[in-house]
Amino acid sequence: MSTLRNKVQLIGNLGNNPEIITLDSGKKLAKFSIATNESYKNAEGEKITDTQWHNVIAWNKTAEIIEKYLEKGNEVAIEGKLTSRSYEDKEGVKKYITEIVCSELLMLGSKQ
């Protein structure tokens, strides 16, 4: 059960083209967001779709695959872990961000 302590699995669509960063060390970092949709009917019987956005990062070989094959709109399944961090913006205001560090990636949908 210890492997389930911090595990996230999502299926969604990329909301933008991945941002690829190559660090001085040569390591690659991919940053992107995916949207997940959940539909339900409200009290009036209307179908409501709730969209949630998730920030995702990936390193090294996974980042290289993302750089080569993924673009805005692609459907993917990801697995990873949640991480939280904070930083100060230019005005000195502390910002908090939660991201999914992707360890597994599966490209879904038809070939382009």
Q: Residue 108 and residue 32: Cα distance in Å, rounded?
A: 16
What distance in Å separates the CA atoms of residue 22 and residue 18, rounded to the nearest whole number? 13
Give burial (CB, 10 Å; 0-12/13-18/19+) of 23: exposed
| pTM score, whole prediction | 0.83
CATH number at residue 28: 2.40.50.140
Residue 52 lies in a domain: yes
Is residue 29 assigned to a domain?
yes
Please indicate, yes or no, if residue 6 is contained in any of the structural domains.
yes
Question: Does residue 112 fall inside a structural domain?
Answer: no
Asked whether residue 30 is domain-assigned, the answer is yes
Q: Does 63 reside within a domain?
A: yes
Q: Please check whether residue 19 lies inside any domain of the structure.
A: yes
pLDDT of the chain, 112 residues: tens digit per residue? 666 689 999 999 999 999 999 999 999 999 999 999 999 999 999 999 999 999 999 999 999 999 999 999 999 999 999 999 999 999 999 999 999 999 999 999 765 5
Residue 41: inside a domain: yes
Alpha-carbon distance of 8 to 4, in angstroms, equals 9
Domain that residue 10 falls in: 2-107
* CB-based burial label for 59 (10 Å; 0-12, 13-18, 19+): middle
Report how many domains make up the chain: 1
